[in-house]
Amino acid sequence: MKYTLGDLASKTGVQLSNKSFANIEVEAVAPVQSASKGEISFCANPKYKKHLSVCQASAVILKEELVDSFSGAVLISKNPYATYAQIAGLLSPADIPTAEVHSTATIHDTARVGRNCYIGPNTVLDAGVVVEDDCLLMAGVFIGKNSSVGKGTRINANVSVYHNCALGKRNIIHSGAVIGADGFGFANDNGKWIKVPQTGGVVLGDDVEVGASTTIDRGALDNTVIEEGVKLDNQIQIAHNVRIGAHTAIAGCSGVAGSTIIGKHCTIAGMCTIVGHIELTDNVRITAMSLISKSIKQSGSYSSGTGFEETTSWRKNSVRFKQLDAISRRLFKLENKS
């Protein structure tokens, strides 16, 4: 799909560096180091600034202080990456199949499907399911008893939504995700595990995105709640009775244990582990591969673990790390003697 730079500036609310560029057309986005005529790029990271002097793109999205670094058309934005995201969506709109209910879909007599929906091959809607208008349920989706899917939500192939779950409006659920499976609840009775029934559900707010093969467990008693605008990457584990605040983003392979509350506008990097029954306040940033073992009550950036180094050095330091307690005790005694 083609747009003029004038149209893109108007739709994204940014400024064009010169009105004479308004009629230039672009039809794709591309990296700044490889873009060519007919494509638009962006530069948000200073380490890519060196490519601007030779960039062949028809236009580049830049902050105002970098406008002179590119000789061609510039869309001036306070947040080039966000503007790029908007433009990429315009130039590459999602494929939306024609509304229909496929002949192989199984829909219970008591289920309701709204207007302008696509219900794909081998999709199953159980008793009492409600699918609101403009939803896309791709091949092999299962929606369990009494669950609901909000208006404009897209559920990709082979997603399972268990019973008594509620998905908000405009959600995007990627393939292989499981929403509403039982939480890991067991009581120990003389060495034997007794399963604790998981009678809560899962509630997703509006504009939530759930990555491929991510699992969100149902609550043990109350619901597991994912508030509006939350973005979950692929292969994330969200345990029972977790609550994630609005507009928080969690990167791939992270895990959140049961009954933890995460605040609004938090960012959690990949492969982080957050233990159960703690709280993270709003605007917390957790760096990659961190273990969060107690509550965080003040906004800011937090890390754990050690940085990488050459293996031989790491092995020596690992041995010394194990000796720190003994060294600390000896130092304490020496200080007390003095």
pLDDT along the chain (338 residues), means of 10: 96 96 97 96 91 96 95 96 96 92 98 98 98 98 98 98 98 98 97 98 98 98 98 98 98 98 98 98 97 98 90 92 92 86
Contact assessment for residue 78 and residue 92, using Cβ atoms and an 8 Å cutoff: no
Q: Is 192 helix (H, G, I), strand (E, B) or coil?
A: strand
What does the alpha-carbon distance between residue 99 and residue 103 come to, in Å, rounded to a whole number? Answer: 13
Write down the catalytic residue from 163, 240, 247, 277.
Answer: 240
Is 240 noted as a catalytic residue in this protein?
A: yes
Give the pLDDT confidence score for residue 338 in this predicted structure: 65
- Considering only the C-alpha atoms of the chain, give the largest distance between any 2 of them, rounded to a whole number of Å: 86
Q: How many other C-beta atoms lie within 10 A of the C-beta of residue 276?
A: 14
Q: State the pLDDT at residue 87.
A: 97
The CATH number corresponding to 100-302 among 2.160.10.10, 1.25.40.10, 3.30.1490.120, 3.40.50.970 equals 2.160.10.10
> Alpha carbon of 104 to those of 141, 153, 257, 302: distances in Å?
12, 21, 38, 50
Contact call for residues 123 and 137 (beta carbons, < 8 A): yes
Alpha-carbon distance 56 to 58, whole Å?
7
The 3-state DSSP class for residue 219 equals: coil
Backbone phi and psi for residue 153, each to the nearest 5 degrees, phi listed first: -80, 140
The residue ranges of every structural domain in the chain are 3-91, 100-302, 311-338
- 3-91 sits in which CATH class? alpha beta
Could you tell me the two tokens for 301? Answer: 């950036």
Of the candidates 185, 252, 267, the residue with the CA atom closest to the CA atom of residue 224: 185
pLDDT at 215: 98
